[in-house]
Amino acid sequence: MAGTPMQGMYSMWYDHYKGAVYPLDLDAPPHLKLKRMQVPTLLEACCAYIARDASLTRQTIEEVPPILCIHLMEAALKGNHDRSIQALMSQWKLPSLVLSKLVPTVYSSFLPLYDSTYQSDLVRQGLRYTTSLAHTFLECLRQESPTKIRRLDLTGFPTAEVILYYLTSHCMLVHNENRRNNMVNLYNQAVSIAEDCGADYNSRHKPLDIDMQNCLPQNISIEIKLDAFVTSESCHSELCKALTVSSFPGARFALIVERLSVTCLGGDRVNLLLKQVKQEYLKGLQLKYNSLRNTDFVRMAPVVQSLTQLTSLDLSCNHLNLVDNAPMATVVRQTLSTLSQLERLDISNSRLKNKLSVVLGGLSGHLKHLRLSGCGLTPLDLSGLVRLVQTNKHTLEELDLSENRLGAGENGHSLRDNFHGAGQSLMLLLESLVSSLRLLELQECSLDSDLARSLTSLTTRMERLLLLNLQANPWSSACVLEVAGRFLSQSSSLHILQLSYPPDCYPSLEEEDHAGVEADLKARFHLSIKRLDRNSRNSLQLLFSEMDHTMAF
């Protein structure tokens, strides 16, 4: 995580998109760009016009059937017209409001994987939706508007921590008010009974006459379903209490979490929070950056095993170490074996050397998304993964093997000297996934030029591959141009190819005009790329990143 809170939040959100919690809709066009380009229908244009003016929206609500109010809400949300949203919610005629049915998912296409500007727009748009609806809903209830909403579903979109804190505080406030009201009613009943019996009790105790104003109207109960992202101790504490009281019989304000992300809070707090969630509702769990050690995972394993509805699990960026630790590998295997619905798994930055087949061997579901970045994978791990894919029919669509030494054998020899090294195992793995892979990331994998050519020959045959990340593999200009040229001329499906500038684009540090020479070398390199692109007939986009100078020299 970065130093400042704002930088840390940006980094955290980036991980949500690239991680396992929110699946990307790879078949949908980019939502935010589509919104700017698509010609609206007559209905959409009329609703968008009305929703811009809150007064006009209020007048329209009285004149149109309820079905048109739904279309007006769609327009108000897409246009971020908060006052119109409030007007519509205050008069809503249905018992529930489900955000995902009113707006298209913002997690469409694979653009957020490489376009940081588009990705930040996604974050802001998703937060606008949940922030506006959550705050407006509680305000409508507090003002006792005639809204019929009793169930608000915000799932599928992130809830900002400040709004989560706002909701949990209201949940506890309703619980405490309910307890107070019950105690006052019981006391007054007791006084009334004593008076009926003629006891002198009434002379000392009179009925309480309290103006019991409540933040939630009497005789109604509400439910809010959401995706919770927790990074602070105070929000963690409030959420634990709110989830506890939400499970009480007769709770009038219930919070239900469908996706849970806990970041930078440590094993004890993670374990405590997991015990409070309703197991039958939780579908996504992200536990990045919590410094979870083996002992932490062993303690929380029974709770994770009970989350049988999980479809996505992210355990990356912790301190899980399975090297020479068969008992720990068995615990992880047993935990994953109970998650029969699991489709997305991220265990990046865990030390899995020679234990991958053990860990994944218990999976009973069908994985579509697997991230194993920085796991110290060996040829044995990759061979085991090949067997798992072939025997368990895991039709992987997204695979990340970045930051593993896949271009060398176990002793560091090149693939040419070690035929049974990780390079050959990688090729066998990709061959088994040639008909299913859509996203493949092999960044900083020490791939040599021979393996680059073999990899190119194989991946150009992948008819569904959309994005290929080969950054930070230190190839020469000739090798990079050969790879780029073959993809430009042969690949029909690939949309994005990510590469790094070759090391010979960087001058030696002894050059006097270092920046000027570097700019000249890169300009010449791009000229060569343009010549290749001129002969291309597909829509492949080449993206070049800076090579880490420690690798380049």
For the ranges 143-157, 212-226, 495-509, which has the lowest average pLDDT? Answer: 212-226
pLDDT band at residue 37, thresholds of 50, 70 and 90? Answer: low
Please provide the average confidence, as pLDDT, over all residues in the chain: 87
* Alpha-carbon 191 to chain mean position: 56
Buried b (16+ CB within 10 A) or exposed e, 160-172: bbebbbbbbebbb
pLDDT band at 299 (very low <50, low <70, confident <90, very high): very high
Q: Tell me the pLDDT tens digit for each residue of 384-394.
A: 999 888 887 66
227, 312 in Cβ contact below 8 A?
A: no
Burial category of 207 from C-beta neighbours within 10 Å (exposed 0-12, middle 13-18, buried 19 and up): middle
What is the C-alpha end-to-end distance of the chain, expressed in Å?
28
pLDDT at 214 over 80: no
**527: Cβ contacts below 8 Å, ≥ 6 apart:** none
Over 90: is that where the pLDDT of 501 sits?
A: yes
Q: pLDDT exceeding 90 applies to what percent of the chain?
A: 63
pTM: 0.89
Q: State the amino acid at position 553 in one-letter form.
A: F
Residue scoring higher pLDDT (30 or 58): 58
pLDDT digits (tens, 9 = 90+) for 216-261: 888 899 999 999 999 999 999 999 999 999 999 989 999 999 999 9
Q: What are phi and psi of 336, to 5 degrees?
A: -65, -30
Q: pLDDT grade, residue 167 (50/70/90)?
A: very high
Question: Residue 104: what are its φ and ψ, rounded to 5°?
Answer: -70, 150
Using alpha carbons, select from 476, 466, 380 the residue that is nearest to residue 429: 380
Residues listed for the chain: 553
Rg (CA), the chain: 28
b/e sequence 228-253, b meaning 16+ C-beta within 10 Å = bbbbbeebbbbbbbbbebbeeeebbb
**208 Cβ partners below 8 Å, 6+ apart?**
184, 187, 188
Tokens of 478: 């000739």
From the DSSP assignment, how many helices (H) and strands (E) are in the chain? 20, 13
pLDDT in tens, 106-138: 787 888 888 888 888 888 889 999 999 999 999
CB count, 10 Å around CB of 51? Answer: 27
Q: Which of 80-84, 185-189, 330-334 is predicted with the least confidence, judged by mean pLDDT? A: 185-189
At residue 168, does pLDDT exceed 80?
A: yes
Q: What pLDDT was estimated at residue 331? A: 96
pLDDT of 8 reads 44
Burial of 297 from C-beta contacts in 10 A (0-12 / 13-18 / 19+): buried
Q: How confident is the model at residue 203 (pLDDT cuts 50, 70, 90)?
A: low
In this prediction, residues 287-310 reach a mean pLDDT of: 96
Residue 221's CB: how many other CB atoms inside 10 A? 13
What pLDDT shows up at residue 1?
35
CB distance 502 to 514 below 8 Å: no
